[in-house]
Amino acid sequence: MDDHPATIAAIIVAAGSGARFGEGGTPKQYQPLLGKSVLRWSIDAFLAAGIRNIHVVINPEHLPYFEQSVAGLKLPPPIIGGDTRQQSVLRGLETISHIAKPDYVLIHDAARPAITPDMIERICHDMIAAKAAVIPALPVVDTLRRIDADTFKTERRDSLFAVQTPQAFPFAKLLDLHRAHKNDKVTDDAALFEMVGLKIHTIDGVRGNFKITHAQDLAEMEATLSSRYADIRTGQGYDVHKFMPRGDDGRCLMVGGIEIAHDKILEGHSDADVALHAITDALLATICDGDIGMHFSPKDARWKNADSAKFLDHAASLIRNAGGIINHIDVTIICEEPKIGPHRDAIRARIAEILCLPFTRVSVKATTTEGLGFTGRREGMAAQSIVTVRLPFQQPHALAKDIKWAS
């Protein structure tokens, strides 16, 4: 019996340019997907499987996207990738070997966000037991037919499998093989083990763990992932802040995460952003986790003049920790002044950015109260919000409590 638990690192390759997806906009690995980026889905699955030593290989031009994707996580600095996937993997392996060589390494494509913690755990168990490479694979179920100009032939599919990532390997062996076969083109890492005749074990892959390749794959992935979140919750939130004259201390009116030029500002301990506060409360309601004041006490000096984006981001991270995803945000801002209409899309964009949601999942409305009540008398602003969140029906995946592997 080994006297130390096996050490495992994960490399997520995310340095591709996504040519088939369509270059120009947000790269495919950073596209928003049900409340977080495509890349973040994989990172969260590894974390939930108890893998802590996670290295992401990126294209340096994508750094701002990467940083936004991993906000709030303590990850090692990203590794700069190469021109091909193979080069990116090698760079990842070389970098890790200079830090601390783990016993094993999992190599995963960022473009496959639908992996599950359960699958990662199964791969790790089998790899440690066999001290060998393990890859997830699914038998091909469709009839396979070779079709080209001269051929129309049904192929036997009995022993054909579609191979996925993550693929798991003894670290030192994989690094040796990558170094030795730099010039032989391969499309996955197991191909190197295959070339030299080393044993490769397989486990059942996960249905839906396909690689996002073309732009239309994103909608299919969204459907695949959302089917895992059948517990649909709604939450509502309401907030009011009083107007006060704008002073010369630099504070300005914040509504929905953006600054709005106005001669009055809202009074409050934080930046008094009624819209973000209402949304934060609505999100907390979906996981029955109290209200904003319980999480950020108005008596706590840390939150004096705080940017309310922090509160909203915190509520979103609690939902992520509960295994949930944010489906939709609706907020109504109630005031006679300032006019919200001209700022509506900027507010939508800012809320979408904070929550890592597509713009089309954030609705912002505004209304006056026809001169009635405190908003009608221009004494303050109010906001109310309704949000929809999806949680898995089963308990969130339990974090590895007993040490199965170090990372």
Q: Which residues bind ligand CTP (CB under 6 A)?
A: 13-21, 29, 57, 81-85, 88, 109-111, 211, 213
> 346 by DSSP, 3-state: which?
helix
d(CA 177, CA 33): 35
Select the residue whose beta carbon is closest to Mg ion and give its number.
16
352: which residues sit within 8 A by CB, 6+ positions away?
A: 32, 358, 359, 361, 362
Minimum CB separation from Mg ion for residue 188, in Å?
12
Minimum CB separation from ligand CTP for residue 114, in Å?
13
Q: 100 is in the binding site of which of Mg ion, ligand CTP, none (Cβ under 5 to 8 A by kind)?
A: none
Q: Which is nearer to ligand CTP, 81 or 380 (CB)?
A: 81
Count the site residues for Mg ion by CB under 5 A: 1
Q: 110 is in the binding site of which of Mg ion, ligand CTP, none (Cβ under 5 to 8 A by kind)?
A: ligand CTP
Bridge partner residues of 104 (DSSP):
8, 170
**161 CA to centre of own chain:** 29
Q: Which is nearer to ligand CTP, 15 or 279 (CB)?
A: 15
Q: 29 is in the binding site of which of Mg ion, ligand CTP, none (Cβ under 5 to 8 A by kind)?
A: ligand CTP
Where does 98-251 show beta strands of DSSP type E?
Answer: 104-109, 133-139, 144-147, 152-155, 161-163, 167-170, 200-204, 231-245
Select the residue whose beta carbon is closest to ligand CTP and give its number.
16
Q: Which is nearer to ligand CTP, 109 or 273 (CB)?
A: 109
Q: Which is nearer to ligand CTP, 45 or 391 (CB)?
A: 45
Q: Which is nearer to ligand CTP, 21 or 104 (CB)?
A: 21
Task: Decide: 287 and 324 in contact? Cβ < 8 Å.
Answer: yes
d(CA 9, CA 166): 12
Minimum CB separation from Mg ion for residue 18, in Å?
8
Q: Which is nearer to Mg ion, 16 or 323 (CB)?
A: 16
**85-99 and 171-180 helices, crossing angle to 10°:** 130
Nearest to 39 by CA among 15, 22, 23: 15
Minimum CB separation from ligand CTP for residue 29, in Å?
5
Residues 11-70 that bind Mg ion (CB under 5 A): 16
Minimum CB separation from ligand CTP for residue 279, in Å?
32
CA R_g for the chain: 25
Footprint on this chain of Mg ion (rule: CB under 5 A): 16
